[in-house]
Amino acid sequence: MSNKLTSPYTFADAESELFEHIREQFSPEAVAAIAAWLQPASTNNPEVDRQMQWLIDRLIEMLGADQYNALCNGLGL
């Protein structure tokens, strides 16, 4: 069984919706905390690690690096 979508719904659509929901449901502090807690995580699967790093990078981009760092400092992370 393939995990590929077969409809015309694209990854860009899904990515856009994902980050729209994150913006609506999570505070900037929560986004910073999630990204910070995921950073040291690693698995025995390099592809999973690559995907996790992609998500971390997108979360930090949502905030901007300066805001991310300031929020992490404010949260004690």
pLDDT for residue 11: 59
Residue 14 is assigned to a structural domain of this protein? no
Indicate whether 60 belongs to any domain: yes
Residue 66 forms part of a structural domain: yes
* Residues 68, 35 contacting (CB under 8 angstroms): yes
Answer yes or no: is 3 within a domain. no
Q: Is 18 part of a structural domain of the chain?
A: no
Q: Measured between alpha carbons, how far is residue 11 from residues 7, 17, 29 in Å?
A: 11, 10, 27
Render the burial of 46-63: b for 16+ CB within 10 Å, e for the rest: eeeeeebeeebeebbebb
pLDDT at 44: 96
Domain assignment of residue 27, yes or no: yes
- Model pLDDT, residue 7: 61
Question: What is the per-residue pLDDT across 6-21, written as a single tens digit (0 to 9) for each?
Answer: 566 565 666 778 888 9
For 29-74, how does the pLDDT look when each residue is reduced to its tens digit (9 = 90+)?
999 999 999 999 999 999 999 999 999 999 999 999 999 999 999 9
Task: Please check whether residue 69 lies inside any domain of the structure.
Answer: yes
Query: What total number of domains does the chain contain?
Result: 1
Residue 62's domain comprises 23-75
Say what the pLDDT of residue 9 is.
54
pLDDT at 5 over 90: no
Q: DSSP 3-state assignment of 32?
A: helix
